[in-house]
Amino acid sequence: MSQVKYYHHGRFRVAGGVLPDAFTAYRTYGDPKNPCIVFPTCYGGRLDNRGLLGQDYMIASETEHHALDPAKYYIVTLALFSNGESSSPSNTAPPYNGPYFPAISYGDNIRAQYTVLTKVLGVQKVHCVIGFSMGGQQSYHWAAMYPDYVEKFIAICGSARTSPHNKCFLEGPKAALVASKDFDNGHYKAHPDIGVRAFGRAYSAWAYGQTWFRQHGYLHDGKYASLEDFLRAEWEGGFLEWDANDLLTLLHTWQDGDITESVGGGVELADCLAGLKPRGLIMPCKTDLYFPPEDSENEVALMKNGSRLVVIDSVWGHMAGGGSNDKDTRFLDEQIAKFLAEA
């Protein structure tokens, strides 16, 4: 496993304008001679594994077996713009710092990632792009934007287009952050703890299935003493590692997610999905309130390339796809390994 590395793109045009010195953070696992697996980050995900979600929970190691095995594949993890590792409001110099950072699209991210893979790493073909949540949405964009470069894609708890109900959910944590007394319209001089804590609590409400809450899943078999303890440690604590403007810019990328925008205006979603060339494995969770399985069922029904739907039967909601529990992770490993091995 390598350390996190950075590729500087120089002047880079994005949806909201230009970044004068854009850079993409990436990390590699395994031998470059093996088939390449691209594994981009999700919301709250970081390559250095700080904060809410790490990026190695699906990668095999000496002590854990997983479908993404560096002994078989060359795995490249890539950080989204605005995650605090790639170009973000928190690490960009004036005049594009903080609230002045331009809007970023999924298409911007995929173009930057493609550059890293081709110009830096010399990857001539990607066997599969796999991602969870925002990572899953990126996998759809990869399939649409580079159909002859990507052979397969796997979307775990993600979608080709962010739905209206998903956009509305995101308005909740967003409002909790921007309305806080210490956010100061993004011009805060110190970390806005009150706003970020409120953001984390609002975000957590839809992260799990209702049955999971009724079964007191938040106690994590005694790890936490109460729901309050869980919210403070897991969700406030997870997001307190993050810069508030980074959270907002990344949230807007999620809200505006739409593969039709990445392949050119005027294309209908149904036509875009029907025209996808790489074959997909689409894995929603039965109880996901962010990306409900009905959305995935509708999308897979429009595909004409042999893509298939496999629903994760779990009470863990959206977090079933993010390494939250061993049972669901084993199921993911089994399905992913099978799909990767298929011709």
Q: CATH number for the domain including 63?
A: 3.40.50.1820
**Is there a single domain that holds both residue 15 and residue 133?**
yes
CA of residue 135 relative to chain centroid, distance: 3
Span 182-210, average pLDDT:
96
Q: Which of 15-29, 42-56, 86-100, 154-168 has the lowest mean pLDDT?
A: 42-56
**Is there a single domain that holds both residue 262 and residue 247?**
no
**Is there a single domain that holds both residue 142 and residue 233?**
no
pLDDT at 1 over 70: no
pLDDT at 69 over 60: yes
Span 83-93, average pLDDT:
98
pLDDT at 263 over 90: no
Does this model's pTM top 0.95? My answer is yes
pLDDT at residue number 27: 97
**Is there a single domain that holds both residue 17 and residue 35?**
yes
Percentage of residues of the chain with pLDDT beyond 70? 100
pLDDT at residue number 54: 84
The residue with greater pLDDT, 307 or 56, is 307
Span 34-43, average pLDDT:
98
74-78 vs 150-156, strand pairing mode:
unpaired
**Is there a single domain that holds both residue 133 and residue 172?**
no
Span 224-230, average pLDDT:
97
pLDDT at residue number 139: 98
pLDDT at 211 over 70: yes
**Is there a single domain that holds both residue 298 and residue 314?**
yes
Residue 2 DSSP label:
P
**Is there a single domain that holds both residue 125 and residue 81?**
yes
In 3D, which of 78, 83, 53 has the Cα closest to residue 130?
Answer: 78
Residue 68 DSSP label:
B
Do residues 105 and 20 touch, judged by C-beta distance below 8 A? no
222: containing domain: 166-251
Domain end point (choices 202, 236, 251)? 251
pLDDT at residue number 219: 97
pLDDT at 310 over 90: yes
Domain count across the chain: 2
**Is there a single domain that holds both residue 118 and residue 32?**
yes
| Helix, strand, coil percentages for the chain (3-state, nearest 5) | 40, 20, 40
Domain end point (choices 195, 221, 251)? 251
pLDDT in tens, 108-117: 999 999 999 9
Do residues 76 and 2 touch, judged by C-beta distance below 8 A? no
Please tell me the distance from the alpha carbon of residue 196 to that of residue 174, in angstroms, as a whole number: 10
| 3-class DSSP state of 1 | coil
Span 38-43, average pLDDT:
97
**Is there a single domain that holds both residue 175 and residue 56?**
no
Span 286-297, average pLDDT:
96
Span 261-284, average pLDDT:
93
**Is there a single domain that holds both residue 24 and residue 42?**
yes
pLDDT at 51 over 80: no
pLDDT at 91 over 60: yes
**Is there a single domain that holds both residue 77 and residue 141?**
yes
**Is there a single domain that holds both residue 153 and residue 178?**
no
Domain end point (choices 234, 251, 268)? 251
